[in-house]
Chains A and B, each alone.
Chain A
Amino acid sequence: DTAVSQTPKYLVTQMGNDKSIKCEQNLGHDTMYWYKQDSKKFLKIMFSYNNKELIINETVPNRFSPKSPDKAHLNLHINSLELGDSAVYFCASSPGTQRRYEQYFGPGTRLTVT
């Protein structure tokens, strides 16, 4: 039983394309997150949603747009992909914002932009 799942696991695409990554959690958590892990392994938060409402929006290009249709799903859409977008993207969830340190991570989506 997967707690936090992401699709696809690998994504290879060309510059300029638009792509989406999907995330679902079956933990009943209220808060979901998107992180970007670059080649140096640093995890950087991009967005956070609490009960479908955006609560954290870091300095991320507006080509990145998160969408939360319900509190179990948080998808990431990226427009006009650039080479620098190549990274591993992790989705995570936590019971709520007060317990944001209890984050459960998905397996990651490795995005390669050529």
Chain B
Amino acid sequence: KNQVEQSPQSLIILEGKNCTLQCNYTVSPFSNLRWYKQDTGRGPVSLTIMTFSENTKSNGRYTATLDADTKQSSLHITASQLSDSASYICVVSGQGSSNTGKLIFGQGTTLQVKP
């Protein structure tokens, strides 16, 4: 069964600290993996997208890694800011038709950055 699991479920850190969010998936065949940031009361916004051949991709203070062999991805946030408080959702896209290759969403990690 195609699944995406994220950990931890929630996380509280102090402003300025780093943190790493994890995403494990069982989607096969794999096409790509995307991290979304969802602020409270808003829709998800894409941070990064990783394809099979990519190991690391950065977007400012956000760095995503992908290990396609172990089917794991991580999102590392450096020097956290209060505005990083949000839910971070890992989304995996499988190969196939538009119907069989649906996006599989993780349940998200809720990050709270405290001053």
| Chain A contacts to B: CB under 8 angstroms | 4, 31, 40-45, 48, 50, 55-56, 90, 92, 97-98, 100-108
CB pair A107 B31 closer than 8 Å: no
The distance in angstroms between the C-alpha atoms of A91 and B26, with both chains bound, is: 26
Are A101 and B98 also in contact (CB < 8 A) when A41-B108, A90-B43, A107-B42 are? Answer: no
A2 to chain B, nearest CB (A): 11
Are A41 and B102 also in contact (CB < 8 A) when A4-B43, A101-B31, A101-B93 are? Answer: no
Given contacts A42-B107, A106-B43, 11 further A-B contacts (CB under 8 A): A41-B110, A42-B105, A42-B108, A56-B99, A97-B97, A97-B98, A100-B93, A100-B103, A101-B31, A102-B46, A107-B43
CB pair A43 B89 closer than 8 Å: yes
* Complex interface: chain A residues within 8 A of B110 (CB): 41
* Complex interface: chain A residues within 8 A of B93 (CB): 100-101
CB pair B105 A105 closer than 8 Å: no
* Complex interface: chain B residues within 8 A of A107 (CB): 41-43
* Complex interface: chain B residues within 8 A of A44 (CB): 105
* Complex interface: chain B residues within 8 A of A92 (CB): 43
Q: When each residue 64-78 of chain B gets 1 if its CB lies under 8 Å from chain A and 0 otherwise, what string results?
A: 000000000000000
CB pair A40 B107 closer than 8 Å: yes
CB pair A56 B102 closer than 8 Å: yes
The distance in angstroms between the C-alpha atoms of A102 and B48, with both chains bound, is: 10
Complex A-B: 23 CB contacts under 8 Å: A4-B43, A40-B107, A41-B87, A41-B108, A41-B110, A43-B44, A48-B98, A50-B98, A55-B98, A55-B99, A56-B99, A97-B97, A98-B98, A100-B98, A101-B34, A101-B49, A101-B93, A102-B46, A103-B103, A105-B44, A106-B43, A107-B42, A107-B43
